[in-house]
Structure 1
């Protein structure tokens, strides 16, 4: 009987450029909103930062490596300006769209 080895999936390995990161973060933001869970988006930003290199992202964002780790830790409450600096360092930006109109439920 042969033994199968499974390696953990690391999405950071597949985030090759800004377009990949933007699509990844967009999907994570939608999921975070649907689940009402900010940790989903923080984890995705953390994954993107790892793909680019934590040290480089911290430097480009003008924050320390330790501060970046703390800001992106589970249940962290990072300042909005920290997140925008990190997103800028990742080469992405936020965009907003109107929500589709809600349809009334039929009784």
Structure 2
């Protein structure tokens, strides 16, 4: 396979951008969390949380700081994952974030 020098994967670039810009990471995660409401889009939301955790020092470091096993975090933040509220809160706290509640956007008739 021919390797191109200087080529960075989309995922690596995404992690670098999220690591460099905290406001971007918060906005990215906020949009992703909205997708958790839809079972058909839940995988994307979990993968976005995983990407932000990777940008925050890696899943191993986040898991250790959150007090959960790395394997458990990998499973929880996989496309078919189903993190507990405790895990979700611990991961967000480790990254200096927290959950918040907003009213659902409804179209006016």
TM (norm. structure 1) is: 0.78
The correspondence of residues 4-19 of structure 1 with structure 2, limited to 5 A, is 7-10=8-11, 11-16=14-19, 18-19=22-23
Q: 1:88 aligns with which of 81, 88, 93?
A: 93
**Structure 1 residues 51 and 30: alpha-carbon distance in aligned structure 2, compared to 1, 3 A threshold:** same
Q: What are structure 1's unaligned runs of at least 5 residues?
A: none
Q: Which residue of 2 aligns with 1:72?
A: 77
- Greater Rg over alpha carbons, structure: 1
- What is residue 48 of structure 1 aligned with on the other side? 52
Contact 1:71/1:77 (8 A) holds in 2: yes
Q: TM-score, normalised by structure 2?
A: 0.77
Aligned to 1:28: 32
Give the length in aligned residue pairs.
Answer: 100
Q: What's the C-alpha RMSD, in Å, of the aligned pairs?
A: 2.1
